[in-house]
Amino acid sequence: MSKKLKFQSPTGMHDILLEEQKYFQKIYEVCEDIANFYQFQKIETPILEETELFSRGIGFSTDIVGKQMFTLRTKGGDYLTLRPEFTASIVRAYIEHGMFNLPQPVKLWYFGPCFRYEHPQAGRFRQFWQFGFEVLGEESPVIDTQVIQIFYNILREIRLKKLIIEINSIGDNQCRPYYKKLLVSYFRSREMALCADCRRRLRENPLRILDCKEEKCQRIISQAPQMIDHLCESCHSHFKEVLEFLDEIGLPYHLNPYLVRGLDYYTKTVFEIYEESPEGRALGALAGGGRYDALTKLLGGKDTPGCGGAGGIERIINLMKTRQLRLKKEREPEIFLAQLGNLGKRKSLRLLEDFRKAKIQIAESFGRDSLKAQLARADKLGVKHTLILGQQEALEGTIIVRDMASGKQETIKIEKVVREMKRRI
């Protein structure tokens, strides 16, 4: 005998079932409401993009490009990659569709899955969902603050508390080269105490060492030179204004001089938002982002400033569950439609549509013929009224209305039933 097949979802990828869908829906609705208020337009990009878009945009020396991308070769010989993040795709779309000709800035938001090959753990999957907001075509520091405010507001709207913003400036191509030299000098004298990945990063991109989570590297990083002490005048002024704007709107932030994030396209402001608790810290950043003024030109477009960020949906849901945040209950049906016989079923199909158009929630069980079974179902649902449409009622153009609490029944004309039920409920 052949072995019975037992398929399962791939490692690190998961089904989003009914209970999870409620949380996804809540986060989507909050994002959509915030996007509408701040006048962001929704965009959807392909899940697959040319591999070079990410390797060039995110950076060849990053862990994402070096270790985590799902890449395939097409029959035509092209290399495509499942998107590991959205920003490079958004910038590609901005360039490809000539959005630089639109009134600037262009404000876009998204909600969808990303893919990274890494060890699955709490809040970290190989297929994971993100929402994000991107602003292209404006270099003012007020945009940095507004982007941070948007993510903070979304997390507060979801009713997460004790939120803290970690923020830093990583400079630009004017001041960062000198800082890199300082880092190389510092880490080279301590190279043998670094992990294997950081020894490689020291040769390829020393800034990436600051993003290492290994405990032995963290001890060395904590004494490293800080970028904020070596910013050029322009970057220093920009960052000072961002912090002044954050002070003005009263957002809680903590200056983290070693925050760099794991993508090479960032310039100037970078930020992450955490819940300030042991569980929150263990999950990692709920949202993060920053400014990427050089990315559009790097990907073949005009010199265009940009700023944005993304939120990790599974991480946020984990925290919502830990905090036992109650979601708005779905509207329960107050009416059940029971039918008997083929003619009763046919008339019930049309009647169900009449209730839908009247926006009255109604339950049914068309697959069952037994009135007893249907009444038991209505009782289990806890509806106030059951409508019974049998062969005789269908022929006479009537319907029976049963009060489920008292058991009393009355017969009314079928064309009046929608109006009558709207009155009763």
Binding-site sequence positions for L-histidine: 85-87, 116, 130, 134, 261, 265-266
Phi-psi region of 266 (alpha: psi -120 to 50; beta: other; left: phi over 0): beta
Helix (H) / strand (E) element for 410: namely strand 409-413
The binding site comprises 85-87, 116, 130, 134, 261, 265-266
Distances (CA, A) of 351 to 75, 289, 290, 336, 389: 52, 51, 54, 12, 10
Given a contact cutoff of 8 angstroms between Cβ atoms, the answer to whether 89 and 49 are in contact is yes
DSSP secondary structure letter of residue 210:
G
Using DSSP's 3-state secondary structure scheme, residue 311 falls into: strand
Distance CA 402, CA 405 (A): 9
What are the residues whose beta carbons fall under 8 Å from the beta carbon of 411, sequence distance 6 or more? 393, 398, 399, 400, 401
Long-range contacts of 179-187 (CB under 8 A, 24+ apart): 179/225, 179/227, 179/230, 180/206, 180/207, 182/225, 182/230, 183/207, 183/209, 183/210, 183/224, 183/225, 186/224, 186/225, 187/220, 187/224
| Strands of 385-389's sheet in order across | 362-364, 335-339, 385-389, 398-403, 409-413
Q: What is the spatial distance between Cα 393 and Cα 375, in angstroms, rounded to a whole number?
A: 17
Distance CA 114, CA 89 (A): 11
Strand-pair category, 267-275 with 287-291: antiparallel
